[in-house]
Amino acid sequence: MKVLLQSMKPVLGITVFVLIAAGFVLRDHWLPLLEQNQADQSKNGAASSKKADGKKNADQQKIILSDQAIANLGLKVKSELPETYWKTFQVPGMIVDLPGRSDQGVISPVDGVVEKMNYYPGDTVRPGDVLYTIRILSETLQQTQTNLFKDTQNIALAETKKKRLETTRGAIPEARIIEVANEIKRLHVAIKGYQHELLSRGFSEQQLQKISAGDFVRDLDILVPDRMDRVGSTRTPVSLKASGTKVKQEPPLTFEVQESKLDLGQQVKTGEMLCLLANHRLLAIEGRAFRDETQLLERSVREGWPVEVDFQERESTHWPAIKQSFLIEYLSNVIDPVNRTFAFRMPLENQSRVVQQGDQTQVLWRFRPGQKVRLMIRVEKLDNVFVLPADAVAREGAEAFIFTQNVNTFYRKPMRVLERDRRHTVIANDGSLTPGSFVVQGAAEQLNRMLKSSSDNDLPEGYHIHADGSLHKNEDEGK
C-alpha cells in the first residue's frame, strides 16, 4: 500500500497542476457566474435590510398615548383648512390717552382756602358730585355779591318810585318818569353783569337768588364738571374710523380722581389746578416706526389695511372679545430727533367693569394708558396656506413636523414652513397635509421628544391598540 501511494504521488501532482491550468484558461466562463451569484445574495440582503428599516421608520412616525397622558399634556386638536395669512412686520406700541377726551383738569374759580375734601386719588366720582369746598377769600367776589344785593334792592325802590310818579302823571314833568325808567334799565344791566361774573366763578342760580335776598355765599362747592353741558362738541356725532360708522358719544358715567394737587387747609389762587379727573373710555394706540418703514405704513393707510394689535394678554382673560378693527388714523410728519422714530395713532374703544366694594364703586378698565402692545403692520398676502399656533410645529434641524391625531394615535408629518412669527407658523398647502385633518395645536416639541425616545411597540401596560388608532384596556386585565 505504501509502495502504491508513492507511485501515485507524481500522477496526483500532475492532475492538480492540470486542473489549475484549466481553471486559469477557462476563467472568463466561470468568474462572471460567481460574481452574479454574490451580487444576488448582496441584493437580497440589502432588500431585506431596507424593508426592515422602512418598517422601523414607519413605526417611528407615530406615538400612542393614553387618555391620561393626553390630558396631562393638555393636547387640543383642530380641523385645519386652508386660509389667508398676512405677512407683517412688528413695531412697538403703547396705549395713550386720547387728547381732550380722556383726562380733564379741575381748577379753582376763586381765591380761597380748601375747607373740605370729599374725594381722594383712586375714588370714583360722577358729574355733579362735590369734590372740594373752598372758603372764599376774594375781595372782588365779596364786593360783587354786595353790589348784586344793593342793585337788586335799588331796582325794587326805583320801581316803587316809578309807580308813584305814574299816578301823578301831568302834575310832574314827564322827564322825571323817564329818568326813573332809565335808572331801572341801568340797574338791570349792572345786575346781569354781576350775575354773569358769579356764574363764571362757579356760583349756581340758587346761590344767585340767595345773594339777591341778602344771604351771601362764603363757601363755594367745586363740582365734578358735566362735559355734556360744558362742552357742546360732545353732543355732536364722533366719527370712529375703527368701526367705520358715526356714533354719538354718550356722557361719561364716571370719572376717576387720578391725581390731587392740594391738601386740606391749603390756600389756592384763581385758575390753580385742584385735581385731575380721568375717564378712559376713549383711548388711542400709538406706535413708533423708523424712517425706512415709512412707505410700508403709507401703503397700509392708502390701502385701508387694518393693523393687528397684540395686547399681550393671557388667553384665560374673562373680558369680551375685541370686535374693533384698528385703522391708522394719524401718521406723524415729524421725526423725533432723539430716537429717530415717528408716531402713528389708532383709536381704541375701551371696555370697563363696575366693582362694588361696600359703599364704594370702582370702575376697572381693560386697557390702561402706558400699557405696552405689539403692532403687526401688513406687508404681503399669502393665500391657500395653513396657519397653526407657533408651538404646534416642532423643529429638528432643517426639518419641521406637525402631529395629527387619530383617537389615541398621533402621527408625525414633515411640513414646509413658509413664515413664522411669535404666535403663528404658516405651513404650505403642498399636499403634505390633507385639508380637514385634525392637527395638534400645541406641545409639538414635547411630542417629538417622546416619539424619538419611544420603542417600536411602546404601548401602555395592560392596553392594546385597535385598527382605528384607539387605545383599549385588555379585557382580562385585573382578573
Residue 479 reports pLDDT greater than 70: no
Q: Cell 353783569 sits at which residue? A: 193
pLDDT for 137 beyond 60: yes
| Pairwise pLDDT comparison (450 vs 10), residue with the higher score | 450
pLDDT of res. 93: 94
What confidence category does residue 470 fall into, taking pLDDT thresholds of 50, 70 and 90? Answer: low
- With a cut of 80, say whether residue 340 has pLDDT above it: yes
Lowest mean pLDDT among 112-121, 399-408, 447-456: 447-456
In whole angstroms, give the CA distance from residue 308 to residue 290: 18
pLDDT at 461: 61
Between 289 and 354, whose confidence is greater?
A: 289
Cβ neighbors of 35 (< 8 A, separation 6 or more) are none
**Residue 22 pLDDT more than 70?**
no
Q: Is 27's pLDDT higher than 50?
A: yes
The three-class DSSP label of residue 324 is coil
Domains of the chain: 62-75+390-471 (2.40.420), 103-225+252-276 (no CATH), 280-313+323-380 (2.40.30)
Count of CB atoms situated within 10 Å of the CB of 424 = 15
Please give the pLDDT value at position 458. Answer: 58
pLDDT tens-digit profile of 291-315?
A: 888 888 999 898 889 999 988 887 7
3-state per-residue secondary structure call for 161-216: HHHHHHHCECCECHHHHHHHHHHHHHHHHHHHHHHHHHHHCCCCHHHHHHHHCCCC
Q: Is the pLDDT of residue 52 over 50?
A: no
pLDDT, tens digit, 9 for 90 and up, residues 223-238: 888 764 443 333 334 4
pTM of the model: 0.63
Confidence (pLDDT) at 246: 44
Give the pLDDT of residue 44. 55
Separation between Cα atoms, residue 384 and residue 400, nearest integer Å: 19
472: confidence class by pLDDT, cuts 50, 70, 90: low
Give the lowest-confidence range in 116-120, 244-248, 317-321, 343-347.
Answer: 244-248
Q: Where does residue 27 rank: exposed (0-12), middle (13-18), buried (19+ CB within 10 A)?
A: exposed
Of the chain, the percentage scoring pLDDT greater than 70 comes to 76
Q: Match 369746598 to its residue by C-alpha cell.
A: 133
CA distances from 90 to 94, 287, 296, 376 (A): 13, 10, 12, 5
What is residue 228's predicted lDDT score, i.e. its pLDDT?
Answer: 44
Between 17 and 456, name the one with better pLDDT: 17
pLDDT value, residue 240 = 41
Please tell me the predicted confidence (pLDDT) of residue 247.
Answer: 42
The confidence score (pLDDT) of residue 281 equals 87
On the question of pLDDT at 12 being above 70, the answer is no
Q: Does the pLDDT at position 243 exceed 50? A: no
When the pLDDT of each residue in the chain is averaged and rounded to a whole number, the result is 80
pLDDT at 386: 93
Burial class of 21 by CB neighbour count within 10 A (0 to 12, 13 to 18, 19+): exposed
Alpha carbon separation from 334 to 61, 150, 294, 330, 342 (Å, rounded) = 57, 59, 12, 12, 6
Mean pLDDT of 182-187: 88
pLDDT greater than 50 at residue 381 = yes
DSSP string across 77-122: EEE---EEEEEEEEEEEEEEEPTTTSEEEEE-SS-EEEEEE---TT
CA max distance for the chain: 199
Q: Which pLDDT does position 403 carry in this prediction?
A: 92
Q: pLDDT value at position 256?
A: 86
Q: If you average pLDDT over residues 402-415, what whole number do you get?
A: 88
**262 contacts: CB under 8 Å, gap ≥ 6:** 114, 268, 272, 274, 275
Q: At what angle do helices 205-212 and 139-167 cross, to 10 degrees?
A: 60
In percent, how much of the chain has pLDDT > 90?
A: 18
